Amino acid sequence: MSYWDTSCLVKVYTPEHDSLLFRNYLLASARCVTSDITPLEFWSTVRRKESEGILAPGEAAKVQSALEGDITAGLITVVICDSPVQSRFRLVVDRCYARNPPIWIRTNDALHLAAAQQEGESEIVATDKRLREAALALGFNIFPLP
């Protein structure tokens, strides 16, 4: 049902002003899907938060372990960015740049959208403006609503 962008999963595992909204939505969701690039993006983000003092020393490793544990337990489904996803990636990029005006989509955002398409998801959980714009242009529903 819902494909989750990395930044929204970070909100579930670390304290942010809107974490409760995303935790509750995840608990109410029938399914949480993300890409195999998510654990990498997640680690980069939580390490930055730890370096900035937002997370306590050692907390990044704990929340990374929690994410990976939920993946292993099957609570989060991970889509592998294999050849079919990479083919969809090219189409996502092409559709975004063919728009007038173009949507300046980033590589990882296009990979996330391609993975969501490959998995047959209908909703993107994201807060990033460009990712949300691209998702809407590709026919996805988005959460949170604008």
Sheet containing 32-35: order of strands: 77-79, 32-35, 2-4, 123-125, 141-143
Q: How high is the mean pLDDT of the chain?
A: 96
The number of folded domains in the chain is 1
Tell me, what CATH number does 127's domain have?
3.40.50.1010
Q: What domain range includes position 19? A: 2-143
Give the end-to-end CA distance of the chain in Å, rounded to a whole number: 19
pLDDT at 5 exceeding the cut of 90? yes
Report the distance separating Cα 51 and Cα 27, nearest Å: 29
- The per-residue pLDDT for 146 is 76
pLDDT at 4 exceeding the cut of 80? yes
Element (H, E) at 135: helix 129-137
